[in-house]
Amino acid sequence: MPVTRGFGSRPRRGRPDRLPPGQYDVGRDWPVLTAEAQPVIDPEQWSVTVDGAVATPRTWTWREAHALPGSTYVGDIHCVTTWSMLDTTFAGVSVDTLLEIARPRSDATHLMAHCETGYTTNLPLADVTGGRAWLVWEHEGRPLPSEHGGPVRLLVPHLYFWKSAKWVDRLELLTADRPGFWERNGYHDRGDPWLEQRYQGDP
Amino acid sequence: MSEPAAEPGSLWTTGEVVEIERIGHRLVRLRLDVAERLDHLPGQHYVVRLRAPDGYTAQRSYSIASEPADPLLELMVECLPGGEVSGHLHDVADVGDVFELRGPIGGWFTWSGEAVAVCVAGGSGVVPFVSMLRHADGLGILGRLRVVAVARTLAELPYAAELLAAGVFVALTRENLGNRVAAPPYPEELSALVDGVERAYVCGSVGFATYATRLLGEAGVRSDVVRVEQFGASG
């Protein structure tokens, strides 16, 4: 590919080794990006259901979810629109904890996250187990704001952030992969930022 | 050109700048001849990637302003403070430059005439609606697309003359326009425009998108027919 006339590389602030290819460090200025009108969700009315290919379908209310063992993520997040935020903190519950209770069947291979707005995103089971995915309700020690998916969003920080579905209310275990919202609309099925899996057709 | 990309997300190609127009300090309009171009749907975007001699790259997405029938690809880029890509396009780019391009991308924020729609744009958020308007005009179905463009002043609104000529409702918040006193659009001003719409599109900054979706709700549009495209802070 051609070098762009008159374009030079900028010193990248922060830690370039922590930035996947094509990403930049947004600092603490967290952009808001959604495809739908932002819903208003009362935490007392919110619940999350784990169902589909599981032995024991289960629903947790806000209070019940908070009674589960808590879990925190400290690290980086990466959005397909090219910003990354480094060393940020989320708190909630590990998806492992929910799955240990609901017990995915042996033929479960994928998970579809569903949201209050109708948004969906699909994930291989291996990407949401083993301490790699959370339901979170706190960011930097404060309640997760609605524009960032509050009261509760999915967090899968090792994949592009469209996989970390806002306003999540259902995790459906699947026995075969099925594309979610952006995955049907031109974006990559898995979305690994280190492999730059941004759009359909990427490796 | 080939068939419209039903599954958008093509691979990288290149485009040569054929025309460039710098409009004020903040806008640049580029018309590009795209190699192996795929037809787009109005509302889709392209990624522009800049490459430094040492291999460093920077890429950003920009909405398409041209209609699918246009032989060239037109982008209208707003220059953001410190914007690495938008700044280069505004300050350095010239006719004959070749950029890496990828697109068309996005299968959600699109309109090809299939639904009666209302579109609400804030400032340079009007760009995808320009593509939709040009497409509708070409098909003779402008009546299926009602566009509301909100800006501070007419000078800050991209494509202002073209929008007014197409019958777009332009609401200026900092200066009067004809008999209309400077103000954000009132729900009553939208009531005729939202009558009978099957879909709504909102494009603008994050703050504008929140405001506009609320305004549409007040005018009687159901939130589940609203499609939103937001930008900002990714310069």
Question: Nearest C-alpha of chain B: how many angstroms from A102?
Answer: 31
Predicted confidence pLDDT, tens digits, chain A (203 residues): 889 999 988 766 657 788 998 898 888 777 777 777 788 899 999 999 999 999 999 999 999 999 999 999 999 999 998 899 999 999 999 999 999 999 999 999 999 999 999 999 999 999 999 999 999 999 999 999 998 999 999 999 999 999 999 999 999 999 999 999 999 988 999 999 999 999 988 88
Q: Which residue among B106, B217, B226 sits closest to A36, beta carbon to beta carbon?
A: B226
CB-CB neighbors (< 8 A) of A39 in chain B: 223
Q: Which of A9, A26, A201 sits opposite B52 (nearest CB)?
A: A9
CB contact under 8 A, B14 and A118: no
Rounded Cα distance, B73 and A135, in Å = 42
Burial grade of B176 (CB within 10 A; 0-12, 13-18, 19 or more): exposed
ipTM exceeding 0.95, yes/no? no
- Which residues in B lie closer than 8 A to residue A201 (C-beta atoms)? 9-11
Which residues between 60 and 79 in chain B have a beta carbon less than 8 angstroms from any beta carbon of chain A?
60-61
Q: How many CB atoms lie within 10 A of CB B233?
A: 17
Give the chain B residue whose CA is nearest to the CA of A11.
Answer: B56
- Tokens, residue A201: 């057709």
Kindly state whether B26 is in contact with chain A, defined as any CB-CB distance less than 8 angstroms: no
Whether B58 sits inside 8 A of A185 (CB atoms) is no
Q: How far is B126 from chain A (nearest CA, A)?
A: 17
Chain B contact set for A83 (CB, 8 A): 233-234
Whether the upstream peptide bond of residue B187 has omega within 30° of 0, thus cis, is no
Closest by alpha carbon to B60, among B27, B82, B84?
A: B84
Chain B residues close to A166, C-beta within 8 Å? none
Q: What is the pLDDT of residue A13?
A: 61
Contact flag A35-B228 (C-beta cutoff 8 Å): yes
In angstroms, the CA A168 to CA A69 distance is 19
Cα(A177)–Cα(A45) distance, integer angstroms: 30
Q: Which of A3, A22, A37 sits opposite B223 (nearest CB)?
A: A37
Chain B CA closest to residue A1: B100
Selected residues 194-233 of chain B with any CB under 8 Å from a CB in chain A: 206, 210, 213, 217, 223-224, 226-230, 232-233
C-alpha A82: how far from its chain's center?
16
Q: Which residues of A touch B213 (CB under 8 A)?
A: 37-38
Measured distance CA(B59)–CA(A188) in Å, rounded: 17
d(CA A44, CA A32): 24
State whether residue B95 sits within 8 Å of chain A by CB. Answer: no
Cβ-nearest to B233 among A26, A39, A200: A26
For chain A, counts of helices (H) and of strands (E): 3, 11
Using CA coordinates, name the residue in chain A closest to B209: A37
Residue A43 has a pLDDT of 94
Cα B79 to Cα A125, B24, B97, B170, distances in angstroms: 42, 10, 18, 22
Nearest to B136 by CA among B201, B210, B75: B201
DSSP-derived letter for residue A18 is G
Q: What is the pLDDT of residue B15?
A: 97
A49-88 core/surface letters (b: 16 or more CB in 10 A; e: else):
bbebbbeeebebebeebeebeebebeebbbbbbbbbbbeb
How far is B200 from B194, CA to CA, in rounded Å? 8
Per-residue model confidence (pLDDT) at position A11: 67
Closest Cα in chain B, distance from residue A75 (Å): 21
Helix (H, G, I), strand (E, B) or coil at A100: helix
Q: Could you identify the residue written with the tokens 């990828």? A: B102
- State the smallest CA–CA distance between residue A70 and chain B in angstroms: 32
Of B234, B232, B197, the closest CA to residue B217 belongs to B197
pLDDT score recorded for residue A52: 98
Residue of chain B whose alpha carbon sits nearest to that of A181: B108
Numbered residues of chain A with Cβ closer than 8 Å to any chain B Cβ: 1-10, 21-22, 24, 26, 29, 31-39, 81-83, 117-118, 147, 181-182, 184-188, 199-202
For chains A and B, CB pairs below 8 A equal 115
Q: pLDDT value at position B10?
A: 60
Provide the residue-wise pLDDT of chain B in tens; the chain has 235 residues.
333 444 444 689 999 999 999 998 899 999 999 999 999 999 999 999 999 998 888 999 999 999 999 999 999 999 988 888 999 999 999 999 999 999 999 889 999 999 999 999 999 999 999 999 999 999 999 999 999 999 999 999 999 999 999 999 999 999 999 999 999 999 999 999 999 999 999 999 888 988 999 999 999 999 999 999 987 543 3
> What does the alpha-carbon distance between residue B43 and residue B126 come to, in Å, rounded to a whole number?
10
